[in-house]
């Protein structure tokens, strides 16, 4: 085998203890400038014969990354819930190096479950052995350290976070006691409450709302005032903490789906008018999204409702403000996005997928209402769509081939935050054979979701610092990514996509996109597994 050739260029980039030796990336003060050729293939299909014509394409891009890491604030909608209290607790435990003891011994603080903090990325091959070499995900480019995040937020319940943490029953008692002195000083900001959008069983918690009448009842007659109040909260939070950036993330109760109506929420202009007219189909999450967009603050939807109606997406486009959603992908759905892809890629035909869940936290309590459950059902069902459409051998569109996909969620208080998920994948094999895969999964829901929140915030902030331009268009002005951040799809059940494009749900494809973005920005080639070093003589 011929010796491997290594670049001797002086150009390159250094981050932490990694030196990237490449002519494609140049560090220039607080900016990283990179050249990248995006190669793909364009396919045309002859409708009469079905013949496919495939043409390779190549487009040259210039990328610019701002290397200076800003001071970032996170505003959570649902700060006093299980996810909110667990998130703040995890940051405090890591920041102050708070260890605690459980029945298995001493537990040191960590960020397990976070891609940015606890996973690695392949750099290349070892010069001597040819084996793969890995480095921490967050060592490639400068990311925000989660310990440095300033966190606050809103909640319809005003319980201080030490008591809210105890109510959530997520963390061990010893850790709760050590965190309580830090958490008791944190109280959620008053939020908005539109009773029609969440389950009636949540009304007892709604004691911390600002949209109320003189009698203390929820006031839904001035939704534009609610937008302005949230905008002020964002500005005040940013100013009082001397922040460079703010990100808003919804981790509150699942809402019912809002009806998408002509002349109501179908365009940005109609949407703003409908908010000012306090239309009944304007949801609280949409109000938060609009306020964030108007403040040019990224907004991420961690619940399954259709916050991003067409008018919201158009408003984000017009204001060049980032949005991402929908619904955290933490356990059962993440496994489904891997297993369904494996079956289809193996040429095995899934006929049905039956998913059953029961959980006992407040999320499960809210989802016991049919309208809120329907929002969750929709987000869970769509996770296999693109995989099915990728294989016309197994699924004939003309015959209406599809997967029977059944989802059940039940509220069972006794299990608390330990969600139980059971899945059955029933597939067809060759010559009439069948295969059945059954999975029983027990997960601590909030301890899976919290690292996702950190990753979503950290990656969103980083993407704000990435700019690009076409090398062949002669324009010196760099652009931002498109308003809908599809690169966040790895962490979301029902990822948004640009209108006209279908979302990608396969977990491996989503992860590969993230890795390749980081690689190209530091001048490395996109990853491949040809491994010619071992396959060719």
Q: How far is CA 420 from CA 135, 280, 410, 441, in A?
A: 34, 35, 10, 6
Dihedral angle over CA of 178, 149, 162, 491, nearest 10: -100
| Pairwise CA distance, residues 466 & 31, whole Å | 10
Q: DSSP characters for 280-348? A: TT--HHHHHHHHHHHTT--EEE-SSS--S-HHHHHHHHHHT--EEES-B--SHHHHHHHHHHHHHHTT-
Cα separation, 139 vs 279, in Å, equals 48
Which is nearest to 117 in space by CA: 87, 144, 155, 157?
Answer: 144
Q: DSSP 3-state assignment of 384?
A: helix
The encoded tokens of residue 420 equal: 């139980």
* Ordered DSSP codes for 400-455: T---EEEEEEEE-GGGTTEEEEEEEEEEE-GGG-EEEEEEEEEEEHHHHHHHHHHH
CB 151 within 8 A of CB 91: yes
How far apart, in Å, are the Cα atoms of 383 and each of 92, 96, 286, 379, 444?
Answer: 34, 38, 23, 7, 21
What is the C-alpha to C-alpha distance for residues 123 and 99, in angstroms, rounded to an integer?
33
Residue 334 and residue 444 in contact, taking contact as beta carbons nearer than 8 Å: no
- The residues, any chain, with a CB within 8 Å of residue 89's CB and separated by 6 or more, are 165, 171, 175, 179, 183
- The answer to whether the beta carbons of residues 324 and 462 sit under 8 Å apart is no
152: phi then psi, degrees, rounded to nearest 5: -150, -170
List active site positions.
327, 376, 419, 493
Tell me how far apart the alpha carbons of residues 312 and 321 are, in angstroms, rounded to a whole number: 11
CA triple 234-238-243, angle to 5 deg: 145
3-state secondary structure (DSSP) of residue 23:
coil
Using CA atoms, how far residue 186 sits from 74, 103, 235, 247, 450, in Å, is 14, 29, 19, 19, 18
Phi, psi of 156 (to 5 degrees): -75, -10
| Contact partners, residue 400, CB within 8 Å, separation at least 6 | none
Would you state the structure tokens that stand for residue 222, as one six-digit string? 């001035």
Take residue 47 and report the two structure tokens written for it. Answer: 């409708």
């Amino acid at each position: 085998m011929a010796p491997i050739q290594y670049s001797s260029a002086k150009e390159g980039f250094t981050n932490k203890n990694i030196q990237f030796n490449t002519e494609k990336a140049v560090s220039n003060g607080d900016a990283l400038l990179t050249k990248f050729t995006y190669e793909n293939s364009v396919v045309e299909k002859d409708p009469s014969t079905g013949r496919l014509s495939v043409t390779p394409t190549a487009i040259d891009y210039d990328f610019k990354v701002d290397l200076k890491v800003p001071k970032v604030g996170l505003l959570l909608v649902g700060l006093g819930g299980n996810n909110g209290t667990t998130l703040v607790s995890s940051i405090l435990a890591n920041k102050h190096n708070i260890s605690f003891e459980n029945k298995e011994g001493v537990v040191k603080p960590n960020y397990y479950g976070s891609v940015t903090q606890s996973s690695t990325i392949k750099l290349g091959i070892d010069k001597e052995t040819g084996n793969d070499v890995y480095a921490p995900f967050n060592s490639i480019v400068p990311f925000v350290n989660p310990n440095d995040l300033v966190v606050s937020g809103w909640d319809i319940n005003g319980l201080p976070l030490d008591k809210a943490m105890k109510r959530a029953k997520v963390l061990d008692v010893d850790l709760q006691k050590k965190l309580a002195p830090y958490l008791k000083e944190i109280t959620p900001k008053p939020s908005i409450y539109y009773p029609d959008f969440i389950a009636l069983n949540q009304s007892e918690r709604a004691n911390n709302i600002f949209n109320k009448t003189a009698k203390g009842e929820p006031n839904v007659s001035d939704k534009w005032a609610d937008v302005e109040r949230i905008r002020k909260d964002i500005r005040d939070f940013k100013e009082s903490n001397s922040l460079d950036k703010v990100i808003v993330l919804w981790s509150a109760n699942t809402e019912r789906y809002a009806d998408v109506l002509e002349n109501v929420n179908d365009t940005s202009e109609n949407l703003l008018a409908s908010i000012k007219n306090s239309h009944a189909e304007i949801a609280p999450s949409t109000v938060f999204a609009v306020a964030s967009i108007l403040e040019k603050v990224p907004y991420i939807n961690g619940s399954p409702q259709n916050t991003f109606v067409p008018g919201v997406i158009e408003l984000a486009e017009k204001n060049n403000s980032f949005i991402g959603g929908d619904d955290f992908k933490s356990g059962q759905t993440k496994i489904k996005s891997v297993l369904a892809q494996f079956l289809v890629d193996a040429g095995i035909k899934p006929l049905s997928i039956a998913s059953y869940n029961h959980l006992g936290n407040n999320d499960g309590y809210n989802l016991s209402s049919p309208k809120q459950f329907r929002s969750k059902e929709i987000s869970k069902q769509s996770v296999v769509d693109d995989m099915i459409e990728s294989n016309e051998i197994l699924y004939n569109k003309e015959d209406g081939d599809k997967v029977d996909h059944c989802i059940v969620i039940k509220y069972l208080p006794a299990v608390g935050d330990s969600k139980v998920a059971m899945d059955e994948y029933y597939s067809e094999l060759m010559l009439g054979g069948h295969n059945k895969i059954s999975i029983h999964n027990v997960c601590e829901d909030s301890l899976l979701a919290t690292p996702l929140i950190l990753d979503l915030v950290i990656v969103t902030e980083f993407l704000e610092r990435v700019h690009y331009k076409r090398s062949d268009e002669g324009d010196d002005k760099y652009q931002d990514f498109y308003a809908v951040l599809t690169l966040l799809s790895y962490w979301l059940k029902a990822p948004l996509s640009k209108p006209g494009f279908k979302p990608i749900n396969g977990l491996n494809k989503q992860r590969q996109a993230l890795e390749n973005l980081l690689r190209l920005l530091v001048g490395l080639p996109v990853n491949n597994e040809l491994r010619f070093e071992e396959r060719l003589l």
